[in-house]
C-alpha cells in the first residue's frame, strides 16, 4: 500500500512457513530498494519498521531474538510490537488498545483547550466546536477497529460523555447523559463506527468505489428471510467476506445494515438487504477451538522514502 512517501508491505503465510515468508519479504524489499535507487529515492532505514501480526498464543511462542530478521540494505530490522499506519496504530494482536488510548487522549486534550472558552460560547457554539474539532479524532479510521473489547468501548464512550457534559453544562457526574446525547442528535461510539461501516458498504454497492473493496463484494439472491408480497421484485443481498476470515487472528460474523443505521433502514430500503462480514480478533480470543482461524500469520513492513 503506497501513500505519498509511505509504503506498507503485507505478506500472509502459515506459521510453519515463517522463515520462507521472511525470505520472500526480503526479496521484495530488495526489489523496492532497487526501484527507489533507480528513481533517485532512498529508503529511510531509521523509519522502517517490521511487525508480525498473529494470534496471542502463537505470538507468545515466538522467540523474536532467534527469528530470522527482515533486512533493508544489509541492515537487520528489529521486530516492533506496534506501528503507526496513516495515523492508525496497529499492534501485534490487533487488540487496538494503543489506538483507543491515542484517540481518547486527543479528545480530552481538545476538551481541555475548549473548556477555557466555555463561558464565552453559547450552547450551539459549543456543540458545533465539538463536532468540528473533537469528532474527527473519534471517527478517524473507526471502521477499521469495530471489534473492540468492552472496556475499550467504555473508554471511548466516557470520552464522548465528557463532550456531552461540555455542551450541556448542567449534568452531574453521576447523572445519565444518554438523554442529553440523544437530544444533541449524536450517536453512541459503537453506532458511529457501524454507521461508517454501512456507509462504506453502501458506497461499494451504489457507486462501485473504491475498486479495491468492490472486488471483494458479491451479490446473491436472498432466499426470503422476511415475508414480502410476491408482486414485489426479489430482494438482493450483498455479502462481503475478506481474507481475514481465514487468518490466525480473525473470525467473521455477519451484521445487517439495518442494525447499523437503525430501525428505519428496513422501511426505507426494502428492496435490498445489506450484510457486511468483518474480522473480529475478539471473537477468536473468546473461541480458541477453531483451527481454521488460527493458521495464518501476517508480516507487515512500513517504509518511508527520502528524496
Q: What is the pLDDT of residues 99-139, one digit of tens each?
A: 999 999 999 999 999 999 988 999 999 999 999 999 999 99
Which residue from 31, 21, 70, 18 is spatially nearest to 48, judged by alpha carbons?
70
Which residue from 81, 92, 73, 64 is spatially nearest to 26, judged by alpha carbons?
73
Give the distance from CA 53 to its chain's centroid: 14
Question: Are both 241 and 299 inside the same structural domain?
Answer: no
φ/ψ of 109, rounded to 5, equals -65, -40
Question: Are both 180 and 101 inside the same structural domain?
Answer: yes
Calculate the average pLDDT of the chain: 76
Asked, for residue 228, whether it belongs to a domain, the answer is: yes
Q: What is the pLDDT of residues 137-147, one digit of tens each?
A: 999 999 999 88
Query: Which residues fall within 8 angstroms of residue 96, CB to CB, at 6 or more apart?
Result: 89, 145, 147, 148, 152
Asked, for residue 204, whether it belongs to a domain, the answer is: no
Question: Are both 117 and 142 inside the same structural domain?
Answer: yes
Cα–Cα distance measured from residue 174 to residue 166, given in angstroms and rounded to the nearest whole number = 15
Residue 232 binned pLDDT confidence (cut-offs 50, 70, 90): low
Question: Are both 53 and 69 inside the same structural domain?
Answer: yes
Q: In terms of residue numbers, what domain contains 277?
A: 213-290
Q: How many domains does the chain have?
A: 3
Asked, for residue 249, whether it belongs to a domain, the answer is: yes
Cα–Cα distance measured from residue 89 to residue 91, given in angstroms and rounded to the nearest whole number = 7
Asked, for residue 154, whether it belongs to a domain, the answer is: yes
Question: Are both 282 and 301 inside the same structural domain?
Answer: no
Question: Are both 219 and 236 inside the same structural domain?
Answer: yes
pLDDT for the residue 171: 61
Asked, for residue 200, whether it belongs to a domain, the answer is: no
Q: What is the pLDDT of residues 250-281, one digit of tens each?
A: 333 444 444 444 444 333 333 333 333 333 33
Asked, for residue 81, whether it belongs to a domain, the answer is: yes
Asked, for residue 203, whether it belongs to a domain, the answer is: no
End-to-end CA distance of the chain: 19
Question: Are both 75 and 150 inside the same structural domain?
Answer: no
Question: Are both 131 and 85 inside the same structural domain?
Answer: no
Question: Are both 228 and 264 inside the same structural domain?
Answer: yes
pTM over 0.75: no
Asked, for residue 194, whether it belongs to a domain, the answer is: no
- Arithmetic mean of pLDDT, 20-49: 87
Question: Are both 121 and 181 inside the same structural domain?
Answer: yes
Q: Are 299 and 53 in contact (CB under 8 A)?
A: yes
Question: Are both 64 and 105 inside the same structural domain?
Answer: no
Amino acid at each position: 500500500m503506497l501513500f505519498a512517501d509511505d509504503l506498507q508491505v503485507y505478506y500472509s503465510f502459515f506459521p510453519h512457513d515463517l522463515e520462507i515468508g521472511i525470505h520472500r519479504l526480503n526479496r521484495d524489499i530488495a526489489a523496492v530498494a532497487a526501484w527507489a535507487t533507480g528513481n533517485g529515492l532512498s529508503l529511510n532505514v531509521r523509519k522502517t519498521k517490521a511487525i508480525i501480526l498473529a494470534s496471542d498464543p502463537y505470538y507468545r511462542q515466538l522467540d523474536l531474538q532467534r527469528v530470522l530478521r527482515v533486512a533493508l540494505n544489509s541492515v537487520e530490522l528489529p521486530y516492533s510490537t506496534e506501528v503507526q499506519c496513516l495515523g492508525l496504530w496497529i499492534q501485534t494482536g490487533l487488540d487496538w488498545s494503543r489506538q483507543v488510548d491515542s484517540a481518547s487522549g486527543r479528545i480530552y486534550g481538545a476538551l481541555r483547550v475548549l473548556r477555557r472558552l466555555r463561558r464565552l460560547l453559547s450552547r450551539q457554539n459549543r456543540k458545533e466546536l465539538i463536532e468540528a474539532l473533537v469528532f474527527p479524532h473519534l471517527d478517524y479510521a473507526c471502521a477499521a477497529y469495530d471489534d473492540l473489547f468492552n472496556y475499550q468501548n467504555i473508554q471511548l464512550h466516557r470520552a464522548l460523555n465528557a463532550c456531552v457534559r461540555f455542551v450541556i453544562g448542567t449534568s452531574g457526574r453521576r447523572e445519565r447523559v444518554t438523554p442529553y446525547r440523544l437530544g444533541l442528535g449524536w450517536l453512541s461510539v459503537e453506532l458511529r463506527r457501524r454507521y461508517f461501516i454501512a456507509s462504506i458498504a453502501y458506497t461499494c454497492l451504489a457507486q462501485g468505489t473504491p475498486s479495491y473493496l468492490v472486488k471483494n463484494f458479491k451479490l446473491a439472491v436472498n432466499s426470503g428471510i422476511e415475508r414480502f408480497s410476491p408482486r414485489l421484485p426479489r430482494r438482493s443481498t450483498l455479502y462481503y467476506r475478506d481474507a481475514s476470515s481465514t487468518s490466525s487472528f480473525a473470525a467473521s460474523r455477519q451484521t445487517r445494515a439495518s442494525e447499523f443505521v437503525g430501525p428505519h433502514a428496513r422501511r426505507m430500503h426494502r428492496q435490498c438487504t445489506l450484510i457486511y462480514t468483518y474480522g473480529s480478533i475478539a471473537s477468536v480470543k473468546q473461541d480458541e477451538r477453531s483451527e481454521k482461524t488460527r493458521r495464518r500469520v501476517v508480516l507487515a513492513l512500513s517504509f518511508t522514502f527520502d528524496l
